[in-house]
Amino acid sequence: SRPTGFALYSSYNEIIPEKNESSEYILVETKKLESFIGSFPCKMCFSERSKVITKCIKGFAVTLNVKCDDCDYETSFCTSQSTNTNDTPRGSYDVNRRVVKAIASIGKGHRALDMFCMSLNMSPMNYRTFQKHISSLHASSKTEMEHVLELARFEVKKCYGTLDADNEVFDITVSYDGSWQKRGFTSKYGIGCCIEILTGLVIDFEVISKFCNICEVAKRKISNPEHFQTWYNNHKGVCNQNYVGSSPGMEVEAAERLWRRSESIGFRYTTMLSDGDAKTIAHLNDCNIYGDKQIEKVECLNHVAKRLGTGLRKLVKDRSKSKNPVGGRSRGHLSEPVIQKLTRYYHNGIHKNLGNVTKMKEAIYATLFHCKSTDESPHHKLCPLGKESWCFYQRAIADGRSPEPHALKIKTPLSPNVVKEMLPLYERLSTETLLTRCLAGRTQNANEALHNVIWSKCPKTVYTSKTKLELGIFEAISIYNTGYMKTCSSYQEAAGISPGRHSYRIAKRFDKSRLRLSKRRKELQIGEYRRRLKVAQIAEEERLRATEGLVYGAGEF
- Distance from C-alpha of 42 to C-alpha of 67, rounded to nearest angstrom: 9
Domain-embedded: residue 14: no
Residues 254 and 145 in one domain: yes
Whether pLDDT at 430 is above 90: yes
190 or 77, higher pLDDT? 190
Residues 83 and 135 in one domain: no
User: Domain range spanning residue 114?
Assistant: 27-125
- Distance from C-alpha of 420 to C-alpha of 305, rounded to nearest angstrom: 20
265 or 515, higher pLDDT? 265
Q: Looking at 146-155, 160-169, 378-387, 544-553, which range is the least confident one?
A: 160-169
Residue 195 pairs in a beta bridge with 175, 202
> How many Cα atoms within 13 Å fall on the side-chain side of residue 344?
16
- Distance from C-alpha of 232 to C-alpha of 219, rounded to nearest angstrom: 10
Of the pLDDT bands very low, low, confident and very high (cuts 50, 70, 90), residue 91 is low
Q: What percent of the chain has pLDDT over 90?
A: 50
Average pLDDT on 507-518 reads: 86
Domain-embedded: residue 395: yes
Residues 290 and 368 in one domain: no
Domain-embedded: residue 4: no
Domain-embedded: residue 91: yes
Q: Look at residues 383, 402, 436 and tell me which one is the last residue of a structural domain.
A: 436
pLDDT single digits (tens) 50-74: 676 767 788 888 888 888 877 878 8
Residues 307 and 290 in one domain: no
Provide the 3-class DSSP secondary structure of residue 142: helix
Q: Is the pTM of this model over 0.75?
A: yes
Of the pLDDT bands very low, low, confident and very high (cuts 50, 70, 90), residue 1 is very low
Q: Look at residues 72, 96, 125 and tell me which one is the last residue of a structural domain.
A: 125
Residues 270 and 378 in one domain: no
Whether pLDDT at 9 is above 50: no
Whether pLDDT at 373 is above 50: yes
Whether pLDDT at 554 is above 80: no
Residues 377 and 291 in one domain: no
**Residues 243-249: contacts with CB within 8 Å, 24+ apart?**
243/208, 243/209, 243/210, 244/210, 245/210, 246/185, 247/180, 247/185, 247/186, 247/187, 247/188, 247/190, 247/210, 248/185, 248/278
Q: What percent of the chain has pLDDT over 70?
A: 89
Residues 273 and 136 in one domain: yes
DSSP string, 78-116: ESS-B---TTS-TT-BHHHHHHHHHHHHTT--HHHHHHH
Domain-embedded: residue 529: no
Whether pLDDT at 250 is above 50: yes
* pLDDT of amino acid 491: 87
Domain-embedded: residue 495: yes
Chain centroid, CA 307 distance in Å: 22
Average pLDDT on 224-242 reads: 91
* pLDDT of amino acid 2: 47
Q: Look at residues 410, 436, 462 and tell me which one is the last residue of a structural domain.
A: 436
Domain-embedded: residue 522: no
Residues 274 and 309 in one domain: no
Residues 135 and 118 in one domain: no
Residue 82 pairs in a beta bridge with 93
Residues 168 and 38 in one domain: no
Domain-embedded: residue 47: yes
- Distance from C-alpha of 191 to C-alpha of 255, rounded to nearest angstrom: 9
Whether pLDDT at 280 is above 60: yes
Whether pLDDT at 12 is above 50: no
Residues 88 and 178 in one domain: no
* Number of domains the chain contains: 3
Residues 138 and 121 in one domain: no
